[in-house]
Structure 1
Amino acid sequence: MRKLLLTAFALAAVCSSGFSQNTEKMEVKDPAYNWDFTHIYPSWDAWQKELKDFSALTPKFIEYKGKISKDPKALIEYIKLSEKAGQMGSKLSSFARLQKDVDGKNSMYNAKLQELQNIFVEMSKNRSWYSPELATLPQETAMKWIAENPELAPYKHDMEDFYRELSHILDEKTQNILNEYSRALSATSKIYNSLSVADIEFPKVKLSTGEEVTASPAVASRIYATSPNQEDRLKVANANRDYYFKHRNTFADIYLGMLQSRAASARLEGYKSCLDATLSGNNIPTDVYFTLLKVAQTNVAPLQKYWDLRKRALGLAKYYHSDASAELTNFSRSYKWEEAVKIVTSALGMMGKEYNENFNSMLTGGKIDVFEKPGKQTGAYNLSLYGVHPYVLMNWNETRDNVFTLAHELGHSVHGILAQKYQSYNNSGANSMVAEVASTFNECVLLDYMLAQSKDPNEKIALLVQAIDNVAGTFYRQVQFAEFEYTMHNMVENNKPVNADVIAKVYGDIDAKYNGLGVEQPENLKYSWPRVFHFFNYNFYVYNYAVSFTASNALYGNIVNAKNKKEADAAKERYLNLLKSGGNDYPINLLRNAGIDMTKEESYLAVTNRLQKLVDQLEVELKKVDKIK
């Protein structure tokens, strides 16, 4: 029940530190390029005071034990207390975490987070009784309370969701037994992380240039993108995969143990399969998963045509996965921050007044941390903070990819702003399936805008390749992984033999099915599946990427392919209503209301048809510059 159960703030991964506290007023840097943390608290003194107030809430939760199932007023008070704690916890956590992410060398932030974590642990103990007691309240009574008490009305969806899953909630005795075994059951995950991260050692490779490099993922990515020598790219790829081949039996045993544990848990909780157990949490029909697989499997032609175009444009006799990042043209362009902001703002002008007012509000200062700096977290993200505003982290390096990243993250920002404006606190968050629609939608808008603005065939090729790679990586690649996951879980659930060679064959056959015979498959490729950490650390998650990416392409297509302005405006309004809805319904229902039914095959054709169009356009542009005949 999401925030109703006090899951509004995540504090699971904090580190400890004994650094002394600093309660001085903070220095505010240029808000044009740096985060302004005074929007959350004016000083660490204010943070420390709020922390004290937050801690004082801890004993209050236990006061409602035995009352919430008997008195609607007690339930309302408990929920309000939970929401108050959730909002306070989010602000306290974000204030320290955000500063840690731009100043990672300062251990003070870990100390602050540890203070908060200690309080959270105690608070969690004082509210562990809540779900079991709520389960004793008949659903009819709960719905009657909601009808009679307006203050409970915003929680109707949360309550219905709780009772929908009630039959799968284990009794207290069984749950306690599982809790006792939880550390032992989680050992396989820890072993995997040690083997794949802490203990991993990649071999050194001597390139044709005489340079000796370690075939780590980062180095491999650099070689794939910059080396003009195919043999060097392949040599690094094989060396990178050899570690997984060498430890193939260990990785297979780890994964088998995880699959068996997941299957046992699903049966114990009364689900038909591991897939049912995973999708049930968000009430997602299994049709969504199987329809995704079916459409991708039957529409691989544009993907395979793309690999063939690349092979021809690069002048290769054979094509390998390690050739997928090689540049097809020598086009290069850098983008200054202000120029990129102007481009993205102009592209999104089509979204109308309300969208752009909220988009522009993110550019008013103090909300985006723009440039790289010592100790700063790498990559990019958006953090929407309830009652304040979103914070966006960038590491601007003037690349075209950064321009798209800016559009992507600000899509999340506007989604957060609109959801908070139109929804109650408990419904202001969004499921990942819907959240990623808001970001990838903006990438579709930006691509079409930049293609329309470009007059240089080489620039168009670079833009098209980026867009096609996005479809290949976010849709086809993730579906490929999703099919692998389903196949392996299904084999274990049906007691079929599983070992390193069996897993490798499944992975290799699926890879060949999607990418075609035109992409060479070295023997160690099919043993490289353990590189995908999602298989071990998450359960049926990768399909989310493909579904949300499909939805964003379809919703964007509904706007730009509309027959007239009236239809386009209606499609745009449905999309904006999706952003405004936050998490007030199940993700499939929200997407259906926006105009896309993810249980229908035609919905997924939007992304496969778009890929066909992009690949055909790339073929035209490659011919213009004599890269292919």
Structure 2
Amino acid sequence: MSKWDLSIFYPNLEAWDEDLKKLPEHIEKLASFQGKLGELENFRKFFKAEEEATKLLYRLYAYIHLNSDLNLKDTVKSAKNQQMLLMLSELNQKTSFTQPEIISLGQEKIMEFVESDDFLGTYKFQMEKLFMQQKHVLSSDQERIIANFGPTKSVPASLYQALAIVDAEDEKVTLSDGKEITVTQSNYRSLLAEVPTADDRRLVFEAAFKRYKENKAAFASTYNLVLQQQAANYKSRNYASALDAALFQNNIPTSVFHNLKDVAYENTAPIRRYIAIRKKHLGLDKYHTYDRFMKLAKDDTKYPFEDARKMFFESIKDMNPEFVKNQKSAVEDGFVDAYPQDGKRTGAYSSGFYGYHPFILLNHDDTLDSVFTLAHEAGHSAHTIFSNENQPMPTSDYTIFVAEIASTFNEHALLDFLLQKAESKAQKVDLLESAIDGIMATFYRQTLFATFEYEANQLVEKGMPITDEALSKIMVDLYKHYYDLDITEENGKQYVWAYIPHLFYYPFYVYQYATSYSASLKIYADVKNKKPNAMENYLGLLKSGGSDYPVNQAAKAGADLTNKETFNAVIDRFTSLVDELEKVLEEK
């Protein structure tokens, strides 16, 4: 069983505590540069000191953040994680003078600084971005006031964790065969695919969503806090909207978001057709959202983590050697925590820190889906490895916008490999279903959630109350339009907005799954079809880290996200897969 080895950071909590004591000294040193950045030598010393502090922060934060996620019920580690976040807030407060002071010195002078020194030269793009954003940077006093509210930014995420995980109790249900099972946030989807009857599926679903229904007002108040924080930010910094504020920093045109939203909204017919096919071949009188986990073909194949890792390696073995090397490095023992355990954070992620090998958290359940999740997270970690190997610290941190390109590219490769290996009708159906469900989940479903997020922010901009009824109405309407399903008929499903942690943790994050999926599909097609320089261009994106604006990075790799045709290509791919699935299902 693959487990994390966090000793590369610290041998124990006591050693972590000792290093934490060094952080205030670094913070005070950075604060001492206030009013002194106008001299080249001080400017250089400040950024040298900042890099030293950042390296310590990465080490401290990585150790406690990862440790805490292994068991969110461990109150000692959770408290230390909160302590770390408070220290980060203090750092932000003490250094809030930086951007206003740099802007006050003028772009010409600052660019002279960065062009006169090799070390400072690595900050050139960062400075260009800052001056591009200068109309949204406030005075030093105003920035200090805003920074004082820093500790409140993590409150919604903490409240959400408490409601959804820490204080929530897993439900037990008795199935139609008399068997009693415990339904958790990690296992309920696999249970929905396995339980014997429609009533059993309903029981499992209701058990999983009970916590969201029973605490709907608390979840709504927590999400309202997220929305109000976004509103306070965009109004204080003179943005046009919360969406504009979220996209402006990375120079992403709002048209990219709206193109995605509109293309998905206007092309829901293939979804309804797919649901009709599923309903027919599953022999269902009525289709529910939780029926999506039922398999069209009986395939009891289990994929233990070690087998999944080998399958992933096999799927990429003929690609560029440098690409293969870093993908394998991404999932080495010690850097993947594979299986669920009590208190462990749900879902999956790759967490990377400059100067350290990235870590992957999984909740592997031996299903085909979990094989794709492994490939997905390996893509993230390999991206981090490529970036850290080729970029200095100031430009190593790539944006979320391009992050999902690396992860979904791997999924495309794995799917093609498995389809080629498939021999039986059951295997083909299973893989086609997985491919279609992948587009449903990554493109359509994430765009639906992004549209929900957009419309919820619209309510705030219009001064409308944020209640569980208001939030649920948005979701009910969207599910009706996308899937032609009335989720009010499912006990608890209208509170699915409370089930999505990204809405609470990372506002305006989820749309990037869909944009990245669209970009990666185009890039992968170019690589697969051996388009000249396609792989080299893709490696260029992986190695470029955060050294350019993400829309530019995607375009250089072959995907223009300002063009609706890039998104329409996903619709075409989805439609062709549904065609193929229907054809295979009708075969004798």
Q: TM-score, normalised by structure 2?
A: 0.86
Residue 34 (structure 2) aligns with:
65
Q: What is the distance in 2 between the residues matched to 1:204 and 1:365?
A: 34
- Pair 1:505-2:473 in alignment: yes
Q: What is the distance in 2 between the residues matched to 1:181 and 1:121?
A: 9
Q: 1:115 to 1:164 in 2, by over 3 A?
A: same
Residue 132 (structure 1) aligns with:
100
Residue 619 (structure 1) aligns with:
582
Within 5 A, what are the aligned runs for 1:36-55? none
Work out whether residues 447 and 467 of structure 1, in 8 Å CA contact, stay in contact via their aligned partners in 2: yes
Residue 447 (structure 2) aligns with:
479
Q: What is the distance in 2 between the residues matched to 1:438 and 1:421?
A: 16
Work out whether residues 385 and 391 of structure 1, in 8 Å CA contact, stay in contact via their aligned partners in 2: no
Letter paired with 1:622 = L
Q: What is the distance in 1 between the residues matched to 2:264 and 2:367?
A: 31
Q: How far apart are residue 123 of structure 1 and its match? A: 5.0
Residue 136 (structure 2) aligns with:
168
Q: 1:290 to 1:459 in 2, by over 3 A?
A: same
Residue 585 (structure 1) aligns with:
548
Letter paired with 1:544 = Q
Q: String of CA shifts for 1:465-519, please: whole Å, max 9, x gaps.
A: 22222211121111112222222322432346776555443322221111136x7
- Pair 1:609-2:576 in alignment: no
- Pair 1:522-2:489 in alignment: yes
Residue 347 (structure 1) aligns with:
315
Q: What is the distance in 2 between the residues matched to 1:178 and 1:405?
A: 38
Residue 194 (structure 2) aligns with:
226
Moved more, 314-323 or 356-365: 356-365
395, 409, 419: which one pairs with 1:427?
395
Within 5 A, what are the aligned runs for 1:32-111? 33=2, 35=4, 57-68=26-37, 70-95=38-63, 98=66
Q: 1:271 to 1:442 in 2, by over 3 A?
A: same
Structure with max Cα Rg:
1
574, 593, 598: which one pairs with 2:537?
574
Q: What is the distance in 2 between the residues matched to 1:441 and 1:61?
A: 40
Letter paired with 1:67 = K
Moved more, 383-392 or 110-119: 110-119
Matched residue SS, 2:123: helix
Q: What is the distance in 2 between the residues matched to 1:166 and 1:138?
A: 10
Q: What is the distance in 1 between the residues matched to 2:566 and 2:357?
A: 33
Structure 2: runs of 5 or more not aligned: none
Q: String of CA shifts for 1:277-327, please: whole Å, max 9, x gaps.
A: 221122211001100011111222222221111101110122111211112
Q: 1:35 to 1:315 in 2, by over 3 A?
A: closer
Q: How far apart are residue 384 of structure 1 and its match? A: 3.1
Q: 1:461 to 1:280 in 2, by over 3 A?
A: same
Q: String of CA shifts for 1:388-419, please: whole Å, max 9, x gaps.
A: 43334456554333322332222122211211
Q: How far apart are residue 213 of structure 1 and its match? A: 6.8
Q: 1:133 to 1:296 in 2, by over 3 A?
A: same
Residue 435 (structure 2) aligns with:
467
Q: 1:281 to 1:223 in 2, by over 3 A?
A: same
Within 5 A, what are the aligned runs for 1:120-269? 126-175=94-143, 207-210=175-178, 217=185, 220-237=188-205, 259=227, 262-269=230-237
Q: What is the distance in 2 between the residues matched to 1:258 and 1:367?
A: 32
Matched residue SS, 1:309: helix
Q: 1:242 to 1:437 in 2, by over 3 A?
A: same
Letter paired with 1:620 = K
Matched residue SS, 2:293: coil
Q: What is the distance in 2 between the residues matched to 1:104 and 1:244?
A: 19
- Pair 1:291-2:259 in alignment: yes
Moved more, 146-155 or 253-262: 253-262
Moved more, 401-410 or 115-124: 115-124
Q: What is the distance in 2 between the residues matched to 1:455 and 1:502?
A: 49
Residue 306 (structure 1) aligns with:
274
Residue 11 (structure 1) aligns with:
none
Q: What is the distance in 2 between the residues matched to 1:172 and 1:251?
A: 35
RMSD over aligned Cα atoms? 3.9
Q: 1:571 to 1:145 in 2, by over 3 A?
A: same
Letter paired with 1:612 = T
Matched residue SS, 2:258: helix
Q: 1:71 to 1:537 in 2, by over 3 A?
A: same
Letter paired with 2:396 = S
Matched residue SS, 1:351: coil
394, 399, 411: which one pairs with 2:367?
399
Work out whether residues 335 and 400 of structure 1, in 8 Å CA contact, stay in contact via their aligned partners in 2: yes
Q: What is the distance in 2 between the residues matched to 1:281 and 1:57?
A: 27
Q: 1:96 to 1:502 in 2, by over 3 A?
A: closer
Matched residue SS, 1:437: helix
Q: What is the distance in 2 between the residues matched to 1:131 and 1:407?
A: 39
Moved more, 208-217 or 574-583: 208-217
Letter paired with 2:407 = S
Work out whether residues 92 and 150 of structure 2, in 8 Å CA contact, stay in contact via their aligned partners in 1: no
Work out whether residues 97 and 143 of structure 2, in 8 Å CA contact, stay in contact via their aligned partners in 1: no
Q: 1:527 to 1:366 in 2, by over 3 A?
A: closer
Q: How far apart are residue 108 of structure 1 and its match? A: 8.3
Q: What is the distance in 2 between the residues matched to 1:608 and 1:489?
A: 27
Residue 7 (structure 1) aligns with:
none
Within 5 A, what are the aligned runs for 1:402-421? 402-421=370-389
Letter paired with 1:590 = Q
Q: How far apart are residue 377 of structure 1 and its match? A: 6.3
Q: How far apart are residue 89 of structure 1 and its match? A: 2.6
Q: What is the distance in 2 between the residues matched to 1:268 and 1:189?
A: 22
Q: What is the distance in 2 between the residues matched to 1:460 and 1:452?
A: 9
Q: What is the distance in 1 between the residues matched to 2:227 and 2:298?
A: 46
Moved more, 612-621 or 75-84: 612-621
Moved more, 582-591 or 254-263: 254-263
Residue 550 (structure 1) aligns with:
518
Q: How far apart are residue 260 of structure 1 and its match? A: 5.2
Q: How far apart are residue 531 of structure 1 and its match? A: 3.2
Q: How far apart are residue 575 of structure 1 and its match? A: 0.9
Q: How far apart are residue 422 of structure 1 and its match? A: 1.5
Letter paired with 2:268 = V
Q: 1:576 to 1:480 in 2, by over 3 A?
A: same
Residue 445 (structure 1) aligns with:
413
Work out whether residues 447 and 463 of structure 1, in 8 Å CA contact, stay in contact via their aligned partners in 2: yes
| Overall identity of the aligned pairs, in % | 36
Q: How far apart are residue 538 of structure 1 and its match? A: 3.8
Moved more, 43-52 or 154-163: 43-52
Q: String of CA shifts for 1:64-94, please: whole Å, max 9, x gaps.
A: 22211x2122111111111122123323443
Q: TM-score, normalised by structure 1?
A: 0.81
Matched residue SS, 1:136: helix
Q: String of CA shifts for 1:173-224, please: whole Å, max 9, x gaps.
A: 5556556777889887777666666676898766544567787755753542
Q: How far apart are residue 455 of structure 1 and its match? A: 0.6
Matched residue SS, 2:317: helix
Matched residue SS, 1:158: helix
Moved more, 96-105 or 422-431: 96-105
Q: What is the distance in 2 between the residues matched to 1:173 and 1:313?
A: 65
Moved more, 480-489 or 576-585: 480-489
Q: 1:399 to 1:251 in 2, by over 3 A?
A: closer
